Amino acid sequence: MPLFQKIFFAVLLVLTSVPEAQAAVFNPTTFTLKNGMQVVIVENHRVPVVTHMVWYRVGSADEGPGETGIAHFLEHLMFKGTKKRKPGEFSQIVARNGGQENAFTSTDYTAYFQTIATDRLEMVMEMEADRMTNLVITDKEVEPERLVVLEERRSRVDNNPGAILGEHINGALFLNHPYRNPVIGWEHDIKALDIKRIMAFYKRWYAPNNAILVVAGAITAEQVRPLAKKYYGKIPAQPPVVRNRAKEPPQRAARKVVLRDKRVRQPSWRRSFLAPTLQWGDKTHVYPLEVLSNILGGGASSRLYRRLVVENKTAVSSGAYYRGDDRGPGRFVLYASPRGDVTMDALEMAVVAEITDIIKNGITADEVIRAKERMVAEAVYARDSLSGGARALGAALASGLSVDDVESWPDNIAAVTAKQINEAAKALFDNNRSVTGLLLPARES
Partner 1 sequence: MFVTRFLRPILTGLLLIGAGPALAINVERVKTPGGLEAWLVQDNSNPIVTMRFAFRGGAALDPKGKVGLANLVASTMDEGAGNLDSQSFQKTLEDKAIRIRFDAGMDNFGGQLQTLVRNQDKAFDLLRLALNVPRFDAEPLERIRSQILVGLKQDEESPHSIAGKAMREALYGGHPYGRPADGIPESVKAIIADDLRAFVSQRLTRDTLVIGIVGDITPAKLAELLDATFGTLPAQGTDWRLPKIRANTDGRTIVINKDVPQSAILFADQGLLRDDPDFYAAYVMNHVLGGGGFTSRLYGEVREKRGLAYSISSGLNPRRASATTVGGAGTANARVHETLDVVKAEWHRMAENGVTNDELKDAKTYLTGAYPLQFTGSTRIARMLVGIQLAELGIDYVKSRNAFINAVTRDDIARVAKKLLDANRLVTVVVGRPEGLPATR
User: Which sequence positions are flagged as catalytic?
Assistant: 75
Render 119-178 in DSSP notation, one character per residue.
GGHHHHHHHHHHHHH-B---HHHHHHHHHHHHHHHIIIIIT-HHHHHHHHHHHHH-SSSG
Q: In 243-364, which ranges are continuous DSSP H helix?
A: 286-297, 303-304, 344-361
Is residue 158 near partner 1 by the rule CB under 8 A? yes
Strands of 434-441's sheet in order across: 255-261, 434-441, 268-275, 330-338, 315-323
Binding part of the chain for partner 1, among 24-32, 54-62, 155-163, 354-362 by CB under 8 A, reads 155-163
Q: Shortest gap between Cβ of 245 and partner 1 (angstroms)?
A: 28
23 touching partner 1, by CB under 8 A: no
**DSSP string covering 22-89:** TS-SS--EEEE-TTS-EEEEEE--SSSEEEEEEEES--GGG--TT-TTHHHHHHHHTTS-BSSS-TTH
Residue 139 in contact with partner 1, rule: CB under 8 A: no
What is the nearest approach in angstroms of partner 1 to the Cβ of residue 153? 8
The one among 385, 408, 412, 431 contacting partner 1 by CB under 8 A: 385
∠ at Cα 291 (289, 292), nearest 5°?
A: 60
Alpha-carbon gap, residue 318 to 215, rounded angstroms: 38
Q: Is 404 in the site for partner 1 (CB under 8 A)?
A: no
Q: Give CA 428 to chain center in angstroms.
A: 21
- Tell me if 425 contacts partner 1 by CB under 8 A: no
Max Cα separation, the chain? Answer: 70
Under the binding rule (CB under 8 A), the answer on residue 265 touching partner 1 is yes
Q: Which residues of 154-172 are buried (b: 16+ CB within 10 A; e: fewer)?
A: eebbeeebbebbbbebbbb
Q: How far is the CB of 34 from partner 1 (least distance, A)?
A: 32
**Cβ at position 359, least distance to partner 1 in Å:** 24
Q: Does 384 sit near partner 1 (CB under 8 A)? A: yes
313 touches partner 1 by CB under 8 A: yes
| CA pair distance 36, 44, nearest whole angstrom | 26
Residue 440 interacts with partner 1 (CB under 8 A)?
A: no
Q: Out of 24, 246, 264, 352, name the contact with partner 1 by CB under 8 A.
A: 264
Task: Give dist(CA 80, CA 95) in Å, integer.
Answer: 15
By CB under 8 A, name the one of 127, 309, 421, 424 that touches partner 1.
309
State the Cα–Cα distance between residues 6 and 289, nearest whole angstrom: 20
DSSP 294-325: HHHHSSTTSHHIIIIIIIS--EEEEEEEEE--
Q: Which stretch binds partner 1 (CB under 8 A): 201-209, 324-332, 370-378, 418-426?
A: 370-378
Closer residue to partner 1 in complex, CB, 197/374: 374
4 close to 105: Cβ distance less than 8 angstroms: yes
- In the complex, least distance from residue 186 CB atom to partner 1, rounded to whole angstroms: 15
Task: List strand residue ranges (DSSP E) for 164-248, in order.
Answer: 211-217
144 vs 236, beta carbon nearer partner 1:
144
Residue from 85, 225, 243, 370 touching partner 1 (CB under 8 A): that is 370
Rule CB under 8 A: is residue 432 a binding residue for partner 1?
A: no
Handedness of CA 291, 297, 301, 306 (dihedral sign): positive
Closer CB to partner 1, 207 or 308, in the complex: 308
* Residue selected from 84, 188, 247, 262 as contacting partner 1 according to rule CB under 8 A: 262
- HSE at residue 10, side-chain half, CA atoms within 13 A, is 20
**263 contributes a contact to partner 1 by CB under 8 A:** yes
273-302: contacts with partner 1 (CB under 8 A): 298-301
* Interaction of residue 144 with partner 1, rule CB under 8 A: yes
Yes or no: say if 339 and 312 are a contact pair by the CB < 8 Å rule. Answer: no
Using CB under 8 A as the binding rule, the residues of this chain from 30 to 89 that contact partner 1 are 44-49, 79, 87-88
Binding flag, residue 357, partner 1 (CB under 8 A): no
Number of chain positions touching partner 1 (CB under 8 A)? 70
Q: Binders of partner 1 among 168-187, rule CB under 8 A?
A: none
Q: Of residues 82-111, which lie at the interface with partner 1 (CB under 8 A)?
A: 87-88, 91-92, 95-101
Task: Give contact residues for partner 1 (rule: CB under 8 A).
Answer: 1, 3, 20, 44-49, 79, 87-88, 91-92, 95-101, 115-117, 143-152, 154-155, 158-161, 262-266, 298-301, 306, 309-310, 313, 316-317, 337, 339-340, 370, 373-374, 377-378, 380-381, 383-387
